Structure 1
Amino acid sequence: MNDEDYRYLAVRSGDARFDGMFYVGVTSTGIYCRPTCPATTPKRENIRFFRSAAAAQGAGFRACKRCRPDAAPGSPEWNARADAVGRAMRLIADGAVDRAGVSGLAASLGYSERHLNRLLITELGAGPLALARAQRAQTARILVETTTLPMGDIAFAAGFSSIRQFNETMRAVFARSPTGMRERSEHRDNAVPAGVTAVRLPFRAPCDLDRLFGFLAERAVPGVEELSHGVYRRVLRLPHGRGIAEISTGAGNGPGKGGAYNAANGNGTGNGHIQCRLHLDDLRDLGTAVQRCRRLLDLDTDPHAVAEVLAQSDLLGPAVAAAPGLRAPGHVDPAELAVRAIVGQQVSVAAARTVAGRIVEQYGKPLTAPNGGLTHVFPEPEDLAAANPEDLPMPAARARALQGLMAALASGEVDLGPGADRADAEARLRSLPGVGPWTAGYIRMRALGDPDVLLESDHGVQRALRYAGHAGPIGDVARTWRPWRSYATHHLWAMLAPAPEPGSPKQRPR
């Protein structure tokens, strides 16, 4: 069978793992759907397959109102791929086209606009403008259906250049006017206060939410992050202003009901979602904030693909079975993560957290209005690069390493953005004084979201290997864990302690 025959089998089976990986256009209705649409499966001859929602929209198909394909989880392919297309997709998701245009996107990747357009059309059936338009429409739909903002404000907040363009796009994509969408919306949360945008962050089940939020809680930097009563909250530094994200561990089922969540059907193949509320200075940052929260929580991964590889390992098999859906958290701010990696060298998680909190208190910019335990924005690289090294709360050698890394980020010598070349970034990091293999690897794993990093020299990893009965070099064994060695690292860490209860972090390895 060819690829399209396999895809049709996935559609017939209703396998939710493929949501977001491809889209189904139905020629007899002019509608495009997720593979799991609850409608009757169309005949094979009436189906066209698309690699992106933008391609389906470009071919004249409208989004299905039942399965809402525009709100599917993102494709895990863009997390794993390190080529130009993968880097471009991460940048487009972060809003690069809306901020800098196609020329800015192409320049950041080192390609001409023409060549980049050709690459994306060949791979995805849509160019950068169409891909950005599809994301713009999704942002607008969220605002239309979940807020009471005037339509004109929504149009410009979502990135449209005019109200006319906004109306035409919404009708073309959703076959309904924005006003009609608002009237029929079933997604408005009347408990959401003014100035707050409520969104649902979909993911592929299973997802071990307790370990995910426990990992974030024990590393929460005072003043910037906190987890309380099942809600993780943190300050965001965004292109047009600041924001605060409030993310519930309840996956739509109420706080404290996370665990290895398997969605409503309970069979581990469905999709779930996490509740997120965003307080934004500027609504133009909505799409970017959503994508950064998704990267932080690693919500676009395919846990079945990871488990299929790691479960075959005699060493990791029991750990994978004990923690189905374990995620490899990323980060919302690569520069912040880089600081925390330097601070965390050769110290415990608790000590690193304390030092990072002192840095925030000394050099972070205070919020105009503190919000609970959130009081500051994490310091900018420029501010830390210019600081007096004697004032930094760490040993002198580590302070020099931190300032050298911050200067490299501020000057652009090192790029840790969503479109960065991961191998080049790691090489540049390791060329800096005081940045060794562990630090560069940790930054690559979390700041750059690389799914294939094994922190072989990490103290916690070494303890876990001994605990599992492995002695000697791990190289040959670890090669069989590719391309999911970041998840292997997290499974090794998880061996050493049970999952913490949400809101009650327990001490675990770095």
Structure 2
Amino acid sequence: MTTYSAVVTTGIYCRPGCGAKPLARNTRTYEHPAAAEAAGFRACLRCRPYRVAAPVAAGAPELVCRAWQLIIDGVLDDGTEAALAARMGLSPRHLRRLFVQHMGATPDQLARSRRAHFARRLLDDTDLTVLDVAFASGFGSLRQFNRTMREVFRASPTDLRDRRRRADRLVADGGLVLRLPFVPGYDWAAVREFLGVRAVPGVEEVDGDTYRRTITVEGAPGVLEVSPGGDGHLLLRAHLPYWEGLIHVVGHAGRMLGVDTDHTAGVAALSADPVLGPLVRARPGLAVPVAWNALEAGVRAVLGRGRTPREAADRLGALTHRLGTKVPGLPGGLTHTFPDAAAIARAEVTEEEAALVGALAADVARGHGALDHGTGLDAPATLPYADHDLRHDLAFRLGSREAFPLGDASLRAALAGLGLDPAACHERWRPWRSLAAAHLMAHGDRL
């Protein structure tokens, strides 16, 4: 886990590796930048902590992880901690206590810090106007934006733009290019290969070392391209109809790619396993990619049952070409956006699949209910036909740390090849069963 060092004599906090050498007795450590900022410290101008990934603490409970995913989705942009707590089935006081205990800051403080850090990266990396940066970062007004940036960085947005270094600005022939920070050790090649096997034709593609996919923003199509960047980051090129709410698009992309998830403790634990260990040690930087949204997670889980990843992807591709929106002029092999919930509910599939897909689509269309990123294993249990394997498949695709989708063909192929009993082996990999499953699935893809 990355820790941030704050110096009480200067009021500045730094990320690991900063060249500053303060006396140990004058330093305090924090696990998240928001925690240091809540304690009154500002970001170092030399190491710029806002440019590195700041994941949730590896030991944080599932409730905190799920609430954090909802914050990434913007639940606190125009909502309150009380509403978030009610959605989580907790009291506001208990939710705040959990966040302070495991993150060092309250949900509101974390959301504010996240918006400010994203805005600072936009001021460095792009030529967007200050007004565009404010709304792209999730702020409700220019006044709120200016006030927050002064509180967090002790300078106005205009002053911060003037301070950017010459090498910061990312020049692009098309689209908006941003740095997408990842946790140390992240293996883009392994994640890209995992995504490529499961890419839905027309919606996703892997071309060399670049991953592309179509998305929908408020009903309008867009395209994201991810490719290798420099030390500690990928490059994300976004082609979007407008920039308002860009922070949530980038947050979705980072979550899908697993760039902001710290698996250090899980890798250490699983590497000691006599059977799984060699797979983990061979690719310690493999993250757990998740679905772009809850609808895609549910549809892929239902229509992919009993099929290999490639067969499932081809079936989803056929569905997309029939029900999705065709978008001309897209790069590479991209042709459509994934169908929306209303179209999916009309899909011509088996009776059992239709019942479950319809329930999933209706749940997503309501904007609340059983499916959220970070959902636990019990949440989808109220859906029809949601048996044990399907619940684990849904939870895995939605970012649960404890899911183990035994129904996945690649995972079962890997278990068979390693001579492991599917019904019993996974219990020994708690609490890192999703990470174990990702390594097994990647291994099974190559068998």
| TM exceeding 0.5 | yes
Instruction: Give the C-alpha shift of residue 205 in structure 1.
Output: 3.4
Could you tell me which residue of structure 1 aligns to residue 51 of structure 2? Answer: 71
Classify 1:478/1:229 alpha carbon distance in 2 versus 1 (closer, same or farther; 3 Å).
Answer: closer
Give the residue type in structure 2 aligned to 1:467.
G
Task: Name 2:391's counterpart in structure 1.
Answer: 440
**2:437 matched to 1:489?**
yes
Matched with 1:456 is: 406
Instruction: Specify whether residues 497 and 330 from structure 1 end up closer, same or farther in structure 2 by C-alpha distance, changes over 3 A only.
Output: closer
Aligned to 1:55: 35
Q: After superposition, what is the alpha-carbon deviation per residue over 1:199-229, rounded to whole angstroms, capped at 9, x for unaligned?
A: 2222233333222111211221122111213
Q: Which runs of 5+ in 2 are unaligned?
A: none
Give the distance between the partners of 2:351 and 2:219, measured in 1 at CA: 35
Query: Offset at 1:288?
Result: 1.0
Compared CA separation, residues 240 and 24, structure 1 to 2 (3 A): farther
State how 1:344-423 maps to structure 2 within 5 Å.
344-367=304-327, 370-385=330-345, 387=346, 392=348, 394-411=349-366, 414-418=369-373, 420=375, 422-423=376-377
Counterpart position of 1:36: 17
Q: Which amino acid aligns with 1:86?
A: C
Deviation at 1:340, TM superposition (A): 1.2
Query: What CA deviation, in whole Å up to 9, does each residue of 1:311-336 have, x standing for no partner?
Result: 21111122222222222211221211
> Are the aligned partners of 1:233 and 1:244 in contact in 2 as well (CA < 8 Å)?
yes
C-alpha distance after superposition, 1:8-41 (max 9, x if no partner): xxxxxxxxxx32xx4322111111112332322x
Q: Write the deviation string for residues 428-448 of structure 1: whole angstroms up to 9, x where unpaired.
A: 24xx13x4332221111112x
Q: CA deviation at 1:352?
A: 1.8
What corresponds to 1:177 in structure 2?
156
Contact 2:226-2:235 at 8 Å conserved across structures = yes
Counterpart AA for 1:436: D
- 141-150 or 155-164, larger mean C-alpha shift: 155-164
Whether contact under 8 Å (2:123, 2:161) holds in the other structure is: yes
Structure 1-normalised TM-score? 0.79
Letter in 1 for 2:14: C
CA contact (8 A) 1:237 1:333 kept: no
Matched, 1:247 2:247: no
Residue number in structure 2 paired with 1:215? 194
- CA deviations on 1:342-363 (whole Å, 9 max, x unpaired) are 1111123332222211221222
* Matched ranges for 1:184-223 at <5 A: 184-186=163-165, 187-193=167-173, 196-223=175-202
Once residues 461 and 286 of structure 1 are traced to their aligned partners in structure 2, the CA distance between those partners, rounded to angstroms, is: 35
CA separation of 1:313 and 1:335: change in aligned 2, threshold 3 A: same
Which secondary structure state, in structure 2, belongs to the residue aligned with residue 275 of structure 1?
strand
Counting matched residue pairs gives 446
Please report how far the alpha carbon of residue 277 of structure 1 lies from its aligned counterpart in structure 2 after TM superposition.
1.3
Is the contact made by 2:191 and 2:257 (CA closer than 8 Å) also made in structure 1? yes
The 8 Å contact of residues 51 and 121 in structure 2, kept in 1 or not, is answered as no
Residue 50 and residue 338 in structure 1: after superposition, are their counterparts in 2 closer, same or farther (change >3 A)? same
Inter-CA distance 416–236: structure 2 relative to 1 (3 Å threshold): same
3-state SS of 1:374 partner: coil
CA change 1:242–1:50 in 2 (3 A) is farther
Structure 1 Cα separation of the partners of residues 156 and 290 of structure 2: 37
Aligned to 1:8: none
Q: Residue 298 of structure 2 corresponds to which residue in structure 1?
A: 338
CA distance in 2 between counterparts of 1:409 and 1:149 reads 33
Q: Aligned residue for 1:329? A: 289
Q: In 2 relative to 1, CA 414–105 (structure 1 residues): closer, same or farther, beyond 3 Å?
A: closer
Letter in 2 for 1:424: D
Q: TM-score scaled by structure 2? A: 0.89
Offset at 1:233? 0.9
Q: Which residue of 2 aligns with 1:294?
A: 254
Q: CA deviation at 1:136?
A: 1.4
Q: Percent identity?
A: 38
Write the distance in 1 (CA, Å) between the matches of 2:209 and 2:360: 35
Root-mean-square deviation (Å): 2.8
8 A Cα contact 1:92 1:132, kept in partner? yes
Distance 1:413 1:75, change over 3 A: closer
Residue 465 of structure 1 corresponds to which residue in structure 2? 415
Name 1:26's counterpart in structure 2.
7
**Which one of 85, 99, 105 corresponds to residue 126 of structure 1?**
105
Counterparts of 2:135 and 2:409, CA distance in 1: 49
Give ranges in structure 1 of 5+ residues lacking alignment: 1-17, 253-262, 264-271, 499-507
Q: Which residue of 2 aligns with 1:428?
A: 382
Question: Is this contact kept in 1: 2:14–2:43, CA < 8 A?
Answer: yes
Separation of aligned partners in 2, 1:137 and 1:314: 45
For residue 158 of structure 1, what is the aligned residue in structure 2?
137
From 228, 235, 241, the counterpart of 1:275? 235
